[in-house]
Chain A
Amino acid sequence: MTGVEPTLADDALPEVVAGQRLTRRDIRRLKWRRFRSHRLALASAVVLVILILLCLSAPLVEWILGMDPSRVDLDRLREGPSADHPLGTDELGRDVLLRLLYGGRVSLLVGFSAAGMAAVIGTLIGLLAGYYGGWFDSMLMRFTDGVIALPLLPLLIVLSAIDLQALGVSADLAESPAISVWRIVVIISLVSWTGVARLVRGATLSIREREFVRAAAAMGASGKRIMFVHILPNVTTPIIVATTLSIGSVILFESVLSFLGLGIQPPLPSWGNMLTYAQELMATAPQLMVWPGLLIFIIVIAFNFFGDGLQDALDPRAMSD
């Protein structure tokens, strides 16, 4: 539905003759060719690798610059780029470059973990519903439909406003910045699993009827074994594609919650919470709102294009143009 680049034409693999049996290597090459033909996806993959490497190298950059990303310097507020602060300083005199790199680590960590956790929840629900069928299936799917129909953003705001101490978490732990990362991961994955669940359920319904599954059942395999050993490996491709495509929206959710002050808690930087005071600072230091927003935009669009290319390459049936 969304390929920006033309999809693979029939003549794109001249060495593959119609009817010829493809080896594993041929298939891998075919997939790579398809991915490569989606030029924006390829460019996005490069951008993602660079951004991830940059964020991972944050401690190295910190060492080179000889600075601490949380060091406040009240003599040097809202400065422009200079030799020792390549991207300038923020409203508390902290180095913008270092905070961007550390913020990127948080955004990526949340993006990957929440998308991964959502994939696990969705896969479990989808497998159970598709495999057992009947009233159990309709109950789980009604539940899924219900979650899909909810207004997500208001719900996320309520979930982030919950007082963890009311759930029995100790006060020290509830207010530590680290827990703000993990609570955001849990909250976002709680509302993001529905797509994968529907996908896996649909695939499970059809795979369940295939001969090899029946053969396994006839040989006495347990339901658990059939689900995880026989069905799951056959649905990994759509799960991977859907999960990649969801990372972008997860990062957007994280950034908006952090922007509103409900997500990642300062002093831990995130691209969202670096923009929290952008509005008040707009007249005096508009340059501060450029980088965090631009990086969110770039990383989300890169994940979306990358996922789109992955879909074209791995799961061509899901494609409509």
Chain B
Amino acid sequence: MIAFIARRLLGTFVLLLIMSFVIYALIGLMPGDPIDIAINADPNMTPEDAKRLKAIYGLDQPIVSRYLAWLSSALQGDFLFSRLHNQPVFDVIMPHLWRTILLMTISFVLATAIAIPLGVWAAARPRTWADYTVNLFCFAGKSMPAFWLGLLLILLFAVQLRAFPASGFETVGDGSVGDVLWHLFLPVLALTLLNIAGITRFMRGEMIGVLRQDFIRTARAKGLSNRGVLYGHALRNAMIPIITILALEFGGLFSGALITEIVFGYPGMGKLIFDAILGSDFNLAQAVLLFTTLVTLLANLGADVTYAAVDPRISYS
């Protein structure tokens, strides 16, 4: 088990290292490096000036040596300075990270708490109207453009009903728990709806598969109540793959919340990524993208490890 985790951790680390270079190279291809910005700001700049500036910023160096310089400072815990925020990158990330975790955790817990019983409920009555309705809802969630759902919720709750704020994290000068929850309502609603659809879909499918197996018939023949069969026998077995999917979904939420954060102007990691890329804040973009990649990779690793740990039939090979 330990060896299995260690091997997978090593693989994750290698992939992260490769991705850090890929991201660095891609960001280097984006418009608006410090020289472009300086040239735009000062029309009198000569090509010689630009060249000198390039040397000051180290942009005349080949990409690999620039990357190695970034890597060595990153490994020492220094992610350089954010141009947009005028703060060290690390200090910019922290508050955004907490806000995203807050948003994600609330909607993930809500979605899981609703989706698992809903999936079981639908699977227990296959080919009824209840089942069709649940499945239709799952398909609708999978096909719904997240940004449009956000726009619809804003239109209904913020513009028409004026019940909830359309954007932001808190009212300036307030920031009490109630105020934050009030602001969280719409983004949480949007994310939760989409997550319920995704998780229910898997839950229903798994349950239908498990309910068809022989040991379920045995349990029923034994005279166990329907409830006992569903929750005692079937759910326990269906939960094994579901745990994996939940871990994956949680990692995916990190980039999945991106659209919701942008539409609702929620100052979390997703919005930070977007603003950093559009605002040519290369240091920030590099760090945030890498961090998001790390979280997604760790969620994948977590999914594999829990899968192996929960199911005794799986060996750590």
Contacts and interface: CB of A to CB of B under 8 A. Distances in A.
Interface string B1-43: 0000000000100010011000100111111000000000000
Determine chain A's interface SS by DSSP, over half rule: helix
Contacts of B148: 275, 289, 293, 296-297
A158 B30 CA distance: 8
A271 B277 CA distance: 23
Given A4-B136, A153-B255, A154-B292, A275 B151 contact: yes
Given A282-B154, A321-B126, A321-B208, A153 B259 contact: yes
A305 B136 CA distance: 10
Contact of A301 (B132, B140, B292, B300): B140
A300 B139 CA distance: 10
B296 A151 contact: yes
Determine chain B's interface SS by DSSP, over half rule: helix
Contact of A2 (B19, B126, B135, B277): B135
Nearest to A293: B148
Nearest to B140: A301
A139 to B, nearest CB: 13
A2 B143 contact: no
A146 B297 CA distance: 9
Contacts of B277: 157-158, 161
B145 A282 contact: no
Contacts of B126: 321
Interface in A269-321: 272, 275, 278-279, 282-283, 286, 289, 293, 296-297, 300-301, 304-305, 308, 320-321
A42 to B, nearest CB: 15
A151 B292 CA distance: 7
Given A4-B135, A296-B145, A301-B139, A286 B209 contact: no
Contacts, number: 135
Nearest to B36: A163
Interface string A94-118: 0000000000000000000000000
B296 A293 contact: no
B151 A279 contact: yes
A64 interface: no
Interface of B: 11, 15, 18-19, 23, 26-31, 126-127, 132, 135-136, 138-140, 142-148, 151-152, 154-155, 159, 201, 205, 208-209, 251-252, 254-256, 258-259, 262-263, 273-274, 277-278, 285, 289, 292-293, 295-297, 300
20 contacts: A1-B205, A2-B139, A149-B296, A151-B255, A151-B296, A153-B256, A153-B258, A154-B292, A157-B274, A161-B278, A163-B31, A166-B31, A252-B143, A256-B147, A256-B259, A275-B148, A289-B152, A293-B145, A300-B144, A321-B205
